[in-house]
Amino acid sequence: MPSLFDPFRLGGLTLPNRVVMAPMTRSRAGADGLVTDSVAAYYAQRATAGLLITEGIQPSLRSQSTANTPGLHTSEQVAAWKKVTDAVHAKGGHIFAQIMHAGRVSHPQVTGTVPVGPSAVGVGTPIFATTFGDAPGMQLAPVPRELTAGEVADEIDVYVQAARNAVEAGFDGVELHGANGYLIHQFLSSNANQRTDAYGGSISGRIRFAVEAAQATAEAIGSERVGIRLSPGSQLWGIEEEDVPTLYTTLVEALAPLDLAYLHTVATADEDVLLNMRKLWPGAFIVNPSTVINPLPSGKADGEDWLARGADLISFGRAYLANPDLVERFRADAPLAEAEAETIYHGGDQGYITYPALEH
């Protein structure tokens, strides 16, 4: 059985270990979607991971979900991210940009426009729609405007252009966010997607957007630079999925011929579903053992368990908040520090780049 500390070949990259930093929203960007020097320091601190995957990055203004999240759709944003990738590469690390289109999980107060989605079906819950420093701003997400068939193609192009921008910014690749209730996941859903055209209805229709977005992105920047993240059965942001085993069998079978860099799944479904995805997926398979509803972050034992079940790489999210040297702590069987819950989305350096490494 492979160890978490064994190297792994991922596309054109040789990862020094099998520990992946999972994407996590940290809300440290400016109002213009520009990342800062603190963001560069944050990722550089964690560069001993085999692979870093960034927080979700909006590929267009209207695809932004909540305030203070970063973008990758202007030349200024591309230049700002170059500071991050340079800092990570200087430490010997590898970093993918997660491209996250929020779809209906957005608000005009954030983007200045009505959100879009596969159908005019609202989330039904509030989202954080105010920039830091202002009054608390939980606002009910409005009913989105249904995308026309032509606009669906336009949104695929949004992923493609953001991927090209990511390469220009120095990223080693991109991860399409197809999980956690955002746009790709909304198309997969049986309640958020009420379409009767080629992008809805049957399972083959509901997976079409995900497959076409992945294919177009792979054609644009190379399949070895494109991964996709899924969360089978997840009900985040009001998502429902009928017949999860069949849906994800069909989706993985359709994605497999694209020869993507990896498939990254959250352990949100029954084990049989995840193991079947592993069986069907011919390439690198990343498992995140933890879910947002679990009270504790996953740890070394969870990672070793999934390596034994056939995963190639293990992603850790919450454990990386307060442990920038997570790989070294795992290697030494050292205790993990606990994150300050109140600073996860706080907006400043405290609780972001202030957690010390083990030797301190």
**Is residue 182 among the annotated active site residues?**
yes
42, 43, 182, 345: the catalytic one is 182
* Number of helices (H), then strands (E), in the chain: 11, 14
**Cβ-based neighbours of 360, under 8 Å, separated by 6 or more:** none
Could you give the angle at the alpha carbon of 181 between the alpha carbons of 293 and 158, nearest 5°? Answer: 140
What is the DSSP code string of 225-287?
GEEEEE-TT--GGG---SSHHHHHHHHHHHHGGG--SEEEEES-S-HHHHHHHHHH--SEEEE
Instruction: Evaluate whether 192 touches 117 at the Cβ level (below 8 Å).
Output: yes
The b/e string for 42-52 (b: 16+ C-beta within 10 A; e otherwise) is: bbbbbbbbbbb
3-state secondary structure of 58: strand
**Cβ-based neighbours of 179, under 8 Å, separated by 6 or more:** 185, 229, 230, 231, 234, 266
What is the DSSP code string of 98-157?
EE---TTS--HHHHSS--EESSS----SEEE-S-BTB---EEEPPPPEEPPHHHHHHHHH
Give the residue carrying structure tokens 């997660």. Answer: 98
Instruction: Evaluate whether 221 touches 228 at the Cβ level (below 8 Å).
Output: no
Instruction: Evaluate whether 249 touches 241 at the Cβ level (below 8 Å).
Output: no
Question: 75: which 2 tokens?
Answer: 């030349």
- Positions marked active-site: 182
